[in-house]
């Protein structure tokens, strides 16, 4: 079975615009064939689009996503790709953990300042 997909179909499936799909095509991440002006996407393009979307959800850059996807062409066993993906995930987790710590510290500081301001306001209102 040689199933193919149209641009609108893939855009709808992945919740993106057709412009986004064309953008990934322009970046060389997917490569549909053409029938005149019509783009025809293969199951391989669909899988690659799924991987792109997954990478974007993880906060990866398009260059990182392209590198991971292209590793499959170099090593169809996926061993190299999986090792690289583990490294990318670990690096991304480290970044996110740092951001999480920064956010928690900011929220803690905001809570402290809010409490201080509420107390100060209360004192000023009762001293009137």
CATH number at residue 29: 1.10.1660.10
Q: Give the span between the Cα atoms of 14 and 33, in whole angstroms.
A: 20
DSSP type of residue 34: E
Q: How many domains, in total, are found in the chain?
A: 1
Q: How far apart are CA 18 and CA 15, in angstroms?
A: 10
Question: Which segment of 9-13, 60-64, 97-101, 109-113 scores lowest on mean pLDDT?
Answer: 60-64
Question: How many other CB atoms sit within 10 Å of the CB of residue 39?
Answer: 22
Residue 26 lies in a domain: yes
- Could you tell me the pLDDT band of residue 31, with boundaries at 50, 70 and 90? very high
- Measure the CA angle with vertex 115, ends 113 and 119; round to 5°: 115
Q: Is residue 124 part of a domain?
A: no
What is the pLDDT averaged over residues 46-65? 92
- Looking at residue 38, what is its pLDDT? 93
**Residues spanned by the domain of 47:** 1-60
User: Is 85 a member of any domain?
Assistant: no
User: What are 12's strand-pairing partners?
Assistant: none
Confidence of residue 69 (pLDDT cuts 50, 70, 90): confident
């Amino acid at each position: 079975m040689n199933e193919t997909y149209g641009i609108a179909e893939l855009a709808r499936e992945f919740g993106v615009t057709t412009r986004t799909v064309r953008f990934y095509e322009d970046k060389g991440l997917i490569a549909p064939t053409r029938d005149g002006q019509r783009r025809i996407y293969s199951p391989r393009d669909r899988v690659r689009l799924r991987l792109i979307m997954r990478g974007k959800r993880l906060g990866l850059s398009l260059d990182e996503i392209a590198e991971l996807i292209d590793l499959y062409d170099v090593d169809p066993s996926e061993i190299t790709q999986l090792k690289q993906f583990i490294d990318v995930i670990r690096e991304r987790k480290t970044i996110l953990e740092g951001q999480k710590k920064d956010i928690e510290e900011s929220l803690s500081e905001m809570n402290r300042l809010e409490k201080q301001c509420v107390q100060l306001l209360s004192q000023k209102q009762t001293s009137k």
